[in-house]
Structure 1
């Protein structure tokens, strides 16, 4: 039943994408180019090639394609998905503008209704004079001389569908389509620059009632959703590690979705994580994408890189307990979150900080007396208006919120999934500074 549901959703999405691409082809290719022209052929080719590249980018990794092939299709395929989103939104906004600019001119109203335009008034006949010979009366039966051709053309109404009208429609289509394409490209370019530049540091102070005075100001560097893969590689990891180390944290929490691929393909990209430095060490919990990539191999590998995986486990620190649970995606492999194993036998008088990839487990954290949960997963929506969809699936999309006696902090993440683009949801590394009420 689940397979049939997935297949039905996939077919519906493919049908929708097909309709959107056809609509964009009509507006941006057919309406702006001449039939059988070079520009028409190029635009039509791209209308087929770009969605196929996007489909290849989405499926190459799951299909086990060579990593080089994944990299070759990832950039154009994923980037087109981002451009497609904002190009479609821009063209939707432009549709009323296009309709307004193509409204009929007043002079064509009669032709539009199918009625003849009124004929020009005939000039009064010249009075007869005695200078006219009598014999000229006979010539009155002869046809009147023709008016000059230029006079006939000037008086005749312009028929509909003239080359001039077609040129005007083409000009409007090019102007509107060009403006929409420019807006979409600029939006995606700015969002790409934000990802490739690297995440910015965000600082948040979180007071905890059970935190002793000696722990006031304890700094936890929270980083999530790095998403190493065919697009974001070693240089991306290096920027993140350098940014974290500059904050001089007391502890580093990597809360899932580190990778999109195998250790064989992405081991070199993850190597800079070996340089992470914090007084109380660096810790890691799985995200849902680890279970798409082989979770156990990555758990073993990050341990080799110097990080401590918390698999439904707890580590007592001098001032509080640090716990971690597996991601809910691990339930399909029998390795889902186990709050009892991580928190069941701890001293409830001590503050507890929980690392959990998805915010949706906050209610389990509340039941087990967690003081602060650190999560990611949402990307803050990544591509506006994706934040609206993220709000439907997550209790908190980004930032700090309170649920009873438990506080939840959700990072927007340090990378990007799919298109290396963020719009309205800048990437971040958050330094959470714990505060004691006794300070």
Structure 2
């Protein structure tokens, strides 16, 4: 039954993509270009090639394609997915403008049509027929002015339709592509630093002001590589944190392909070191080799484990995706035998494990995974499966902080959910 359900879902998604591409082609190409024109041919080719590149970008990694081919497909394929979203949204908004613009042009055309010219009366008096020796002289009436066709000073009906189509299509193209370009710039520029203060009831005065740099969802892959890692490391180090928490989804690919891209992580600097827990994408990429590789780079993996830091316990659990490999989260192992008089900070990639964190007396859970929705209106979809999409919220005696992440999955684009590295400053209520 599960296989049948997935097959039906795939058919629905495929049909939806076909319909969306057909709609985009009609509005951008069919309505605005002449049949047989070079522009129409180019637009028609693009509407077939671009979705194929997107499918290639999505499946090439899972299919084991060479990494160079993944990189070739990734940029155009993933960018088109983001562009398609915002072009479609812009066109749908334009549907409301289209009839208003058409009616405005029709009113202008009607106002330009002159009133009908009245029949001209003879000018001048005719001579009396009885007058002798004089001829009858009658001035011929002036010829009526030629009628001006309706809309001659405006656009003819076919031209109006073309004008409306090109105006709305052009505005939608500027809005959709501009939004995609700005969102791409935001990712490539690198994450910005966010600062949050979190008071913890059990935190001793000696740990007041302890700063944790929270980094998640870096997503090294065929698009974001070594330069992206270098930007993140430099940004983290500038904050001079006491501890660095890397909470999953570091990579989208194997150590063989992405090991060099991850190497700058060896440059992370903090007083108490850098710690790492797995995310769901590590299990798609080979979690065990990546855990060993980050250890070689100087990070400390917390695989359902706990360490004592100055004034509190730092625990980490594996991601729930590891359950399929028998390596899922084990809260009893990570937190079961700890001294509950001490504050506990938990690193867990997905916010959905907050209930277990509350049950085990965690004071603060640090998570990522959601990307804050990444592409608006994706935040509304993320809310359906995550208790918190971004920011700080309280669940009983446990607080949950979710970072939007430092990278991007799929399209290297963020709209309405800027990437961040968060410096969480712990505050003692005894201070």
Could you state the TM-score of these two structures normalised by the residue count of structure 2?
0.90
Cα-to-partner distance string for 1:126-155 (whole Å, 9 max, x where unaligned): 999969xxxxxxxxxxxxxxx99x97xx55
Aligned partner of 2:398 among 392, 406, 429: 406
Distance 1:367 1:271 in 2: 37
- Aligned counterpart, 1:91: 91
Cα-to-partner distance string for 1:197-247 (whole Å, 9 max, x where unaligned): 111111111111111111111111100000000000000000000111111
The answer to whether the aligner puts 1:417 opposite 2:418 as a matched pair is no
- Aligned counterpart, 2:57: 57
Moved more, 97-106 or 81-90: 97-106
Distance 1:211 1:35, change over 3 A: same
Structure 1 gaps, min length 5: 110-118, 132-146
TM superposition shift of 1:3: 2.4
The answer to whether the aligner puts 1:395 opposite 2:387 as a matched pair is yes
TM superposition shift of 1:317: 2.0
Q: Alignment RMSD, CA only?
A: 2.4
- Aligned counterpart, 2:31: 31
Distance 2:374 2:90 in 1: 18
- Aligned counterpart, 1:105: 106
TM superposition shift of 1:4: 2.2
Distance 2:166 2:347 in 1: 52
TM superposition shift of 1:14: 1.4
Distance 1:327 1:417 in 2: 17
TM superposition shift of 1:156: 9.1
- Aligned counterpart, 1:326: 318
Count of aligned pairs: 412
TM superposition shift of 1:438: 1.2
TM superposition shift of 1:280: 1.0
Moved more, 164-173 or 296-305: 164-173
**Partner SS for 2:68:** helix
The answer to whether the aligner puts 1:273 opposite 2:255 as a matched pair is no
The answer to whether the aligner puts 1:220 opposite 2:218 as a matched pair is no
Distance 1:368 1:384 in 2: 35
- Aligned counterpart, 1:66: 66
- Aligned counterpart, 2:133: none
Distance 1:420 1:121, change over 3 A: same
Moved more, 359-368 or 51-60: 51-60
Cα-to-partner distance string for 1:337-359 (whole Å, 9 max, x where unaligned): 11111111111111111000000
TM superposition shift of 1:168: 2.0
Instruction: Write the mapping of 1:16-415 to structure 2, written as runs, cut at 5 A.
Output: 16-103=16-103, 105=106, 154-155=146-147, 164-415=156-407
The answer to whether the aligner puts 1:436 opposite 2:428 as a matched pair is yes
- Aligned counterpart, 1:143: none
**Partner SS for 2:26:** helix
Distance 1:307 1:332 in 2: 25
Distance 1:77 1:366 in 2: 41
TM superposition shift of 1:376: 0.2
- Aligned counterpart, 1:112: none
Distance 2:416 2:71 in 1: 26
Distance 1:179 1:230 in 2: 32
- Aligned counterpart, 2:139: none
Distance 1:171 1:228, change over 3 A: same
Could you state the TM-score of these two structures normalised by the residue count of structure 1?
0.88
Cα-to-partner distance string for 1:314-336 (whole Å, 9 max, x where unaligned): 11223111111111111111111
